[in-house]
Amino acid sequence: MSGTPPARRTVLRAAALAPAVGLGLTACSSGGDGGSRSAPTAPVDLGESDDVKVGASKLYTDRNVVVSRVSDDEYKAFSTICTHARCPINKLEGHKLICQCHGSQFDATNGEVLKEPAVSPLAELPVKVENGKIIAGPEKKA
């Protein structure tokens, strides 16, 4: 009879921890929620080119893209899907992108890893300005 209370405590403790473990696994999974965990697969209009000042970076969380303006007529764009666990990055401090899932950090101007656990740089995206609008993402395939 003395074995029953510890076994019951163990079962109750495990039941109490199950929701927290589930949340952790959800954050780490690659998920099947489509667009929120993928970079653009075709060109997307990000708005006015003057919205990104020379020397600055802008995060477009709804498109999973960051754009940095190198000079008056040169822009760089990168996917903001973390290369560690495919979490969408939604925090930009200056030129530093910070992934909320595991703390990876990237340079928004070149996509390079600033802090692990990610070890691969962000994917660079083609970017251009057309009629005063920033267009980023790969060309549509015919």
Grade residue 139 by pLDDT with cuts at 50, 70 and 90: confident
pTM: 0.74
Grade residue 126 by pLDDT with cuts at 50, 70 and 90: very high
Question: Over 70: is that where the pLDDT of 113 sits?
Answer: yes
Closest Cα partner for 66 from 30, 31, 92, 38?
Answer: 92
Res 5: pLDDT: 54
Higher pLDDT, 56 or 34: 56
What are all long-range contacts of 79-83, with beta carbons under 8 Å and residues at least 24 apart?
79/39, 79/40, 79/122, 79/123, 79/124, 79/125, 80/39, 80/122, 81/37, 81/38, 81/39, 81/122, 81/123, 82/106, 82/118, 83/113, 83/118, 83/119, 83/120, 83/121, 83/122, 83/123
